[in-house]
Structure 1
Amino acid sequence: MRILSFSDLHRDRQAARAILRASADADVVVGAGDFASKGIGAAETLEILADCAAPVLVVHGNHDVPSEIAAFCEASARLTYLHGSGVDLDGVSFFGLGGEVPGRKGHAWNVAHSEVEASLMLADCPERAVLVTHTPPLGTADVQTGGAHEGSRAIRDAILASNAPLCLCGHVHASWGVQGQLGRALVRNLGPGLTWFDI
């Protein structure tokens, strides 16, 4: 299976169109959240991604309104919204969790979940599923500009418990393009460019 992945478009239509063009060579497209900016404009990029040649799996980011993402995906033939839920495609399991974990930003638009909430939502993650999360796992691909780790313990624990082969994430812009190993999993903080994986 060939996976085309990205995160943090933040209303960037040009980046969305590049993903649309590249989707002809993908078996699945994965978007790890933040289609909007400060709660505004998710549809600007999702409308473009809805025309992708391959199925598109998405989680919400901390800038997105989860109900809007869910409603848009429900109305689309191509987009599937994952949050505490999963899907199987051609024998490969995918499981998703959106938002910032744990909450670190006090803005009214920021969508966050506690570590306890995240643990409960990740409890049903199947063995060896590809994890799609907006927040990185704590300690891997999660270093902010000042050097602090801003990942999630719950996501880290779920990766290890499920023997995930791959975790696709974003959120921490200072770590875009950074990858590392956590248990069996390759963890990649994606960013808005085109990132490919073969599994």
Structure 2
Amino acid sequence: MRLVCLSDTHNQHRDIEIPEGDVLIHAGDCTEGGNREETQDFLDWFSSQPHTHKILIPGNHDFYFENPENHKNIPSNIRLLIDQGVEIEQRLFWGSPYTPGMDNWAFNRDRGSDIRKHWDLIPPHTDILITHTPPYGILDEIRSGNKLGCEELTRKLESVEASYHFFGHIHHASGSSIRSKTRFFNLSVLDERSRLMHSPVVLDI
């Protein structure tokens, strides 16, 4: 099974060359302002991709998906995961969009118990974990040296032995890392100045 993974396209999706594969994953911030027009353009593009499975996790810019009434407008061939999972070829993909401490952004939760309740829902047998936020200390550092990932998510990973953890959110930290049994990928395709600098990640699993 070939995964094609990206994040933080911020309305620049039509400028990205998407490789062939079986599962296309977007880990959040498909829009900039999160309005209906931006979102519909992305959904039209995303649903038209030839990949058999398409998984979408909203990000902190994607306000449109906060309203459950809008979910009926999502094309049927896109799986929107908001604290939900989907099984593909006997592998469990679990997705959650929440980010810590980002004021009035979409899917924002306070650090601590407020965001922990979302991570508590992640099944321990998850194979591929997709969040918008990085865990604290893993591909989450900005230019100043501050780390903006989620501490509660890092703690949760001690009991979730996912083979892969995909996320975005911190444009500065695009790349990959391996810790214990998990391969981590910050999938941000834009840099901190919103320039398209990175290609989608392709993995055969």
Task: Report TM bin, short chain.
Answer: 0.7 to 0.9
Whether the 8 Å contact between 2:57 and 2:95 is mirrored in structure 1 is: yes
Residues 34 and 134 of structure 1: CA distance in aligned 2, closer, same or farther (over 3 Å): same
Residues 122 and 157 of structure 1: CA distance in aligned 2, closer, same or farther (over 3 Å): same
Which is richer in helix?
1
Distance 1:74 1:155 in 2: 30
CA shift digits 1:90-111 (9 cap, x unpaired)? 11100011032x123x3x4444
CA shift digits 1:110-165 (9 cap, x unpaired)? 44123423322222322142110100111011011111111112222232211111
**CA shift at 1:196, angstroms?**
0.9
Partner-residue secondary structure (3-state), 1:34:
coil
AA in 2 matched with 1:159: L
CA shift digits 1:63-98 (9 cap, x unpaired)? 001236883576412111111111101111000110
Q: Which among 9, 13, 21 is matched to residue 26 of structure 1?
A: 21
Normalised to the residue count of structure 2, the TM-score between the two structures is 0.83
2:39 corresponds in structure 1 to: 42
Partner-residue secondary structure (3-state), 2:183:
strand
1:195 corresponds in structure 2 to: 201
Residues 10 and 195 of structure 1: CA distance in aligned 2, closer, same or farther (over 3 Å): same
Query: Segments of 4+ in structure 1 off by > 3 A?
Result: 67-75, 108-111
1:78 corresponds in structure 2 to: 77
**Which blocks of at least 5 consecutive residues in structure 2 are unaligned?**
190-198
Distance 2:44 2:67 in 1: 12
Whether the 8 Å contact between 1:73 and 1:80 is mirrored in structure 2 is: no
Partner-residue secondary structure (3-state), 2:155:
helix
Aligned Cα root-mean-square deviation (Å): 2.1
Query: Between Structure 1 and Structure 2, how many residues are aligned?
Result: 190
